Structure 1
Amino acid sequence: MSNTNHNIAEQFIQYLNDENFEQAESCLDADFKFIGVLGTREGASVYMQEMKQMKLKYQIIKTFTSGEDVCLWYTIDMGNKAIEASGWYQIIDGKIRSFKVLFDPRPLLNDQ
């Protein structure tokens, strides 16, 4: 089961990189919750609307899997900045139920 969860998280990232937002959203549970350094989002469609605007690109460095939990260590290209981050995905019944991202936001905040 954990190998499947690993694949779901990585496939979600690939869909985002390919800007295939419809397929990316299909990886998310309807009650999806995002918890980030700069805020939270409730609901798959709310989260995906932001992702369509930001068009972030991810380069996965390492994947760790434990049961329903998948942790990805990656670099996120945010246009003018590349940030190292960690994403913790909880996958239940084949869908990403929640996702928490951690990174140092100071390089982003210093430009404002």
Structure 2
Amino acid sequence: MSNTNPNVAEQFIHYLNEEDFDKAESCLDPDFKFIGVLGTREKASVYITDMKKMKFKYQILKTFTSGEDVCIWYNIDMGEKTILSSGWYEVIEGKIHSFKVLFDPRPLLNN
């Protein structure tokens, strides 16, 4: 089953890029948790509401898997800035249960 994990995480990114937020949310467990550099979000619906506002675009550079974990390195176009980032997705039974993102926030803070 672990070979399906990168597909779930990458499919999630694809749906965000296409702004198909309903399908993106369908990749997430309802009790999904996001942990980011600049904040956290609890629940899939709360996270997707934020994504609808931000409309980030992702360019996947590399995907790694280890058991239930998927790590994706990508460039995230945040509008005025494009930031090299890494996302760690915990996939359980075909749904993303948690997602942690790491990036250097200084370009966003030094406007």
TM-score normalised over the length of structure 2: 0.99
1:6 equivalent in structure 2: 6
1:19 equivalent in structure 2: 19
The alpha carbon displacement at 1:16 in A equals 0.1
After superposition, residues 80-91 of structure 1 pair within 5 angstroms as 80-91=80-91
Deviations 1:39-93 (A, max 9, x none): 0000000000000000000000000001100000000000110000000000001
- Over aligned residue pairs, what C-alpha RMSD do you find? 0.4
> How many residues are paired up?
111
2:36 equivalent in structure 1: 36
2:102 equivalent in structure 1: 102
Which amino acid is 2:83 matched to? I
The alpha carbon displacement at 1:30 in A equals 0.6
Which amino acid is 1:68 matched to? E
After superposition, residues 67-82 of structure 1 pair within 5 angstroms as 67-82=67-82
Counterpart CA distance in 1 for 2:28 and 2:51 is 13
Counterpart CA distance in 2 for 1:6 and 1:15 is 14
Counterpart CA distance in 1 for 2:59 and 2:2 is 21
Identical amino acids, percent of aligned pairs: 77
